[in-house]
């Protein structure tokens, strides 16, 4: 009897183990740190946002996405010369819109890992003020570059001229989870006469709740146009002229099409009406 009782308990333990709940999924940024692929969660988040992380062979994950603890996670070397994919986007826009960064004082709003900042430096920028609401995201190579002035933990919505020691000659903007309509208003007061602004328009953050598809993707061309119109109108209200526009040479990390608007201080030279509609419609159609 005693032997049978012990045997029953042993079988029960095996059955319990076999039916145990699967291990819980973990945040991707935490998993990167646990596996020694990143020194901190901040750096892990920066790697994910830079498109340098693959999960089971696929990219496009968000730092806070939950993945299986058994997932194959790797950090890959970039196929471009910048510290982040943003550098590829900005390089394409500077070329397409014929904007020169050489010997100019620049402001990078939403610097994150520093793809835009890196591109500006490689294009000869004199100095770059790298601003981001987060902390610890900027690549160390840029953080230690004397031409880069790091402005961490700063919300671009509340910038004022006193926050910078000199006027900005070239401003670039790459922000997420916030509309550009909220970022543009304080910008004109920071700009030097003749300054250029390149704002990356991400439709998923401009069209409003309920307008995005599965995975946060905006696929409809009419919604892309709606996003561009909205940002262009906000620029005019802020005192910025629309000078041009182009498509980003690569898509966002999640697969969204993205666009650049070229802005400058003063509205007198702004593209308006039918001329603006032809420009915006043309870049969406790929004319």
**Which pLDDT score, from 0 to 100, does residue 287 have?**
62
Beta strand ranges found along the chain (DSSP E): 26-27, 53-55, 66-67, 73-75, 105-109, 127-132, 148-152, 168-173, 191-201, 240-247, 259-265
CA 203 to chain CA centroid, nearest Å: 12
CA 108 to chain CA centroid, nearest Å: 12
φ, ψ dihedrals at 114, nearest 5°: 110, 20
pLDDT in tens, 237-277: 999 999 999 999 888 877 889 999 999 998 777 888 899 99
Domains, in order of start, for the chain: 25-77 (3.10.290.10), 86-285 (3.40.50.150)
pLDDT at 4 exceeding the cut of 60? no
User: How far apart are the C-alpha atoms of 218 and 214, rounded to whole Å?
Assistant: 9
Each residue of 23-41: b (16+ CB within 10 Å) or e? Answer: eeeebbbbbbbeeebbeee
Q: CA torsion sign, 23 to 50 to 232 to 187?
A: positive
The first and second tokens of residue 53, run together, are 């992380």
23 by DSSP, 3-state: which?
Answer: coil
List CB contacts of 174: < 8 A, sequence separation 6 or more: 86, 89, 90, 108, 109, 110, 111, 112, 115, 116, 200
The first and second tokens of residue 102, run together, are 């050489």
Please state the pTM of the whole predicted model: 0.76
Quote the crossing angle between the two packed helices 115-122 and 86-96, to the nearest 10°. 50
| Pairing, β 259-265 against β 240-247 | antiparallel
282 by Cβ neighbours in 10 Å (0-12 / 13-18 / 19+) ranks as exposed
User: How far apart are the C-alpha atoms of 33 and 81, rounded to whole Å?
Assistant: 25
**Which pLDDT score, from 0 to 100, does residue 7 have?**
43
User: How far apart are the C-alpha atoms of 160 and 181, rounded to whole Å?
Assistant: 17
pLDDT in tens, 83-104: 888 999 999 999 999 999 999 9
6 by Cβ neighbours in 10 Å (0-12 / 13-18 / 19+) ranks as exposed
pLDDT in tens, 100-159: 999 999 999 999 999 999 999 999 999 999 999 999 999 999 999 999 999 999 999 999
* pLDDT-derived band at 21, boundaries 50, 70, 90: low
């Amino acid at each position: 009897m005693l032997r049978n009782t012990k045997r029953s308990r042993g079988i029960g333990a095996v059955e319990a183990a076999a039916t145990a709940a699967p291990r819980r999924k973990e945040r991707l940024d935490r998993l990167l740190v646990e596996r020694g692929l990143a020194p901190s969660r901040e750096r892990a988040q920066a790697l994910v946002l830079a498109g340098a992380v693959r999960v089971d062979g696929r990219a496009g994950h968000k730092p806070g996405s939950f993945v299986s603890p058994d997932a194959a996670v790797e950090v890959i070397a970039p196929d471009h010369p910048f510290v982040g994919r943003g550098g590829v986007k900005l390089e394409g826009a500077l070329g397409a819109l014929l904007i020169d960064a050489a010997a100019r004082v620049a402001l990078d709003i939403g610097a994150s890992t520093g793809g835009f900042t890196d591109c500006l430096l490689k294009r000869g920028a004199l100095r770059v003020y790298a601003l981001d609401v987060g902390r610890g995201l900027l690549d160390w190579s840029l953080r230690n570059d004397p031409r880069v002035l790091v402005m961490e933990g700063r919300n671009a919505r509340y910038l004022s001229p006193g926050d910078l020691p000199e006027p900005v000659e070239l401003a670039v903007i790459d922000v997420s989870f916030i509309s550009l309509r909220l970022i543009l208003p304080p910008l004109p007061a920071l700009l030097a006469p003749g300054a250029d602004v390149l704002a990356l328009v991400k439709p998923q953050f401009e069209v409003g709740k309920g307008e995005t598809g599965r995975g946060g993707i905006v696929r409809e061309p009419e919604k892309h146009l709606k996003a561009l119109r909205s940002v262009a109108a906000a620029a005019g209200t802020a005192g910025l002229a629309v000078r041009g526009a182009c498509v980003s040479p690569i898509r966002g990390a999640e697969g969204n099409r993205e666009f650049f608007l070229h802005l400058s201080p003063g509205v007198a030279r702004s593209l308006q009406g039918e001329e603006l509609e032809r420009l915006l419609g043309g870049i969406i159609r790929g004319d």
